[in-house]
Every structure is written in structure tokens, then in C-alpha cells.
Structure 1
């Protein structure tokens, strides 16, 4: 096992590497989300650099998805601040956060099952484009049509572009959801357990897809599959009971005894 430097519990900002000189993509400052007396997320603070690939790990009930919901505005924080590329978005509604370049996927795929892969991607493109309410049909050279073709290639789905979503394997549906999240040049994507339910072959395809994302694009990944999370990210925060337990590099998290005891049964 690799030698591990001591990890700081709580705040990840000081130790996190900076991928680009442009600063932070996402900063959480004491973010809390309470449901009555229950604090599902409790004073969470960390920063994700522009271009950084980041993971949030933890067991069921650790508060990971609730944290994503606070970031996207689905369940706004009851305390704390959220900054997106320097702008305070704590009070913004979800659609305004999307317009600013924030995207997410969900644990359960939200797809149009009776439409084709191509049509799903086209709707995602149109949903974040100017003139999205236009009733004019897009031709072959229309910007939205070209962007859809680009997403088919980036999501590695060109070979099944005209298949109905209902006929796709589970892993292909997860790829499609990632492709839809890429619509409109997002600045940061939140991936909520993209490997859930995937076969070993589908997991390999997912790793290849995540590793192929542009270097300038930030993402935060929630994942139970530690092998995937540690292979595709540069920095990791571990949550426990709604709070930050540890933060560090994948090597530090993999080798940390307390993390192993809680989440890996003492070994990985």
C-alpha cells in the first residue's frame, strides 16, 4: 500500500490542485440542507478548480445526492453559499443555473424512451439553444442538427443513432444521458452514480467516455464504484453522515485507514 500523507478533514480547498489558472469552477461554503430537524448535508465546504475532475464518495445516506440537489437548486441550501465561476448562484432557480453552464445527470435515467437516440440528443441541444421555442424544423445544416451529430460521436453512440431508447441496453442509456448533459457546451457537469447497474464491459466504456471529456470541462462525480471514481478523477472528498470526512488525491483516499474502515471493510 502506498505511503499516504495525512489528510485534512473538512475543507478541501487548500489542498486541491488547480488545473487551470482561471480559478475555481465551483465553491461550496458551509452548504447545509436541512429537512426539519434532519441535516442531510451539514456545513459542507470544498472547491473544484476549472477543468478539474472531482469525486464525492460515501455510503448510502451520506448526503451526496442531496448535496447535488443543493448545487443544482432542486433543493436549495438552507444555509451556506454556492459560487459558480465566481458568481453567487445560491438563490438562482435551476433553469438559470443551467443557462450558466451547470448540468447534471440523475441516478435514474430521464430519457424519452419512445424516441430515438438522435432525437433525445437533438431535444437536449434545442433545450439549451437560443430560439429553442421555434417551430421551424431544423435542416441538415442547421446548427442544432450539427451539434446533435457531434454529441453522437462524443458519446460514442453514432452506431445506434436511430435506435429507440426503449431498446437500448442499460449502459447505452447511461451513455446517452451523459451525451445529453454535454449539450450546449457545459462548464461543469454533476454525474450522479453513472456506473450504477452497469456490466464490467459497460463500466470500461464509461471510463473511456469520462476520460475523453475535454480538459477544460470540470465535473463532479458521485459514485459507489471506487475503482471507477479513482480512475477518472483528480481529487476526492469523502462524506459521512452529511459532513465532509476526508479530502485528498485518489491515492491518498485509497490508502487512508479511516476511509477503508468505513467504506471498504478495511481493504480495497
Structure 2
């Protein structure tokens, strides 16, 4: 490689290392005359855990849809690890390490926990189009078992999804999102509908994720969000209302007045 080529490669590596995992600049999304998002600026570091909070209609899910490529923004730019992905389709963002869970479960109810996770691993692997049955020494099968253990479902590995409790299905969705070495995961209200015990288990799972995997969590349960996040972004009417550390957001009088109706214990 020429000296110029080496210099260019060094600059590229440096830019990639210093780039934000996710960066939104002036992102807006219009549906006719309705501005669902207005001039959103957001920067998340590699490995960072960020919570996005706000009341219904604040624009949180629209924000996720723009990040994943389900919606294209009406204006503004979206970058992942320094690369402009504003016009990229969803599958190209997945190839670059983005994953997402949804409010509604998207699982194969007739298959087992093992089969669901194996298919997720297979779907992001080079051999995803192969029709051969997996062998006993298949590396993806070991990865499957590791992911199931990470979400505390090893005892249910051969259980059909249809008979799992709701909270266990949400745990399984996290395992699917972890398939294929993601770099950034978007969690869309993972605590919705969970019991107090299941929520504590969810917190343990999220805080136990490898540190190189960053995530953004939309959550109405502030107790869950504030325990797993390093920084918090509050949204209101399609705009960013506040940003800060969890304790700053929790004790902010404007946040309490707008979202909590007073003190938060």
C-alpha cells in the first residue's frame, strides 16, 4: 500500500474509533401537517446505555422507526459509527450491527426457545440460505445456547414458545436481538406487561449485557429505565425536552411536573 493509502486507512480507522455509535442531526418526521419529530439532535457513544422517556405521543416510537429505517426522515441526517445511513433500508442497518425489539412479540410460537434463537443466529450468518440441518458441532448452535443462557432461559430451552409466560417471551426477544454480534440495540418498552419479579429479572439481563453492546431503551417504567441507563433523554411533543444523568432527570422539577405529577420515589 502506498504512503497515501496508509494515511487514508489510518484516518478511516481513527474516524471509526472516535465516531458515535448513533448520531442524529436535525432529524424531523412529518406525516402530512403533523410533525411527529422536530429537529432531533442526539448523540450516543459506543457501548452507551441510553433511556428515551416521554408520555404517549411524545415521538419515541417514531424516533426508533427513523433510526431503524422503517421510516425515512423528512429532513436531517442519521449516522451509525460515522457512516451516513439516512437513506439506507432497514436490512443494511442490521448488517452494520443495529438490532431492535418491538412492543408486540414477533416470535414463532410453534417452535421451541432453541429453534427461535437458532433461526435468529442463522438469519444473520453467511450460511442463512443453506437448507442443511445443523450438525451437533455447529458453531451457531453453541452461540444459540449462550444467548439463551444470557437471558436466563436455559431451563426452558426445549419448551415451545406458545407455553412460555409473557415475561419469558420478552426475555426471548432480547436473545433474538443479541444474535449476530450487534453493536447497538433498540429496546421498545421491554418491561411493558411484566410483573415486579419479571422486571427485576429484566434489569439483571440488561445490566449484564457485554459492555461493548450499547442500547437505547424506550420505557414507561421509570424505575426500570433509570436503573439500566447511563443517560436519559426526555421527549415531549416530538422534541427533546431534557437530557441528563438518571439522578438529574429523576429529581428535575419540570420532569416531575410534566410526567410524574409530583415527586418520584
Secondary structure of 2:242's match? strand
Task: State whether structure 2 residue 135 is matched by structure 1 residue 139.
Answer: yes
Distance 1:23 1:71 in 2: 16
Secondary structure of 2:38's match? strand
Match of 2:220 among 215, 218, 224: 224
How much does 1:146 deviate?
1.3
Match of 2:52 among 51, 56, 59: 56
Distance 1:264 1:181 in 2: 31
Match of 2:117 in 1: 121
- Mapping 1:143-154, distance limit 5 Å: 143-154=139-150
Tell me which of the two structures has the higher relative contact order, counting C-alpha pairs closer than 8 angstroms and 6 or more residues apart: 1
Secondary structure of 1:219's match? strand
Distance 1:125 1:34 in 2: 35
Q: Which deviates further from its counterpart, 232-241 or 135-144?
A: 135-144
Distance 1:141 1:153 in 2: 18
How much does 1:82 deviate?
0.5
Distance 1:219 1:84 in 2: 13
TM-score calculated relative to the size of structure 2: 0.92
Q: Which deviates further from its counterpart, 182-191 or 36-45?
A: 36-45
More helix by share: 2
Distance 1:172 1:233 in 2: 22
Secondary structure of 1:46's match? strand
After superposition, what is the alpha-carbon deviation per residue over 1:176-205, rounded to whole angstroms, capped at 9, x for unaligned? Answer: 000000000000000000000000000000
Q: Which runs of 5+ in 2 are unaligned?
A: 1-16
Moved over 3 A (4+): none
TM-score calculated relative to the size of structure 1: 0.91
Task: State whether structure 2 residue 158 is matched by structure 1 residue 162.
Answer: yes
Match of 2:77 in 1: 81
Match of 2:104 among 108, 121, 144: 108
Secondary structure of 2:21's match? strand
Q: Which deviates further from its counterpart, 134-143 or 84-93?
A: 134-143
Whether contact under 8 Å (1:140, 1:146) holds in the other structure is: no
Whether contact under 8 Å (1:62, 1:240) holds in the other structure is: yes
How much does 1:22 deviate?
4.0
How much does 1:67 deviate?
0.4
Distance 1:45 1:22 in 2: 18
Task: State whether structure 2 residue 246 is matched by structure 1 residue 234.
Answer: no
Q: How many residue pairs get matched?
A: 248
Distance 1:105 1:204 in 2: 19
Root mean square deviation, CA, Å: 0.8
Match of 1:30 among 1, 21, 26: 26
Match of 1:43 in 2: 39
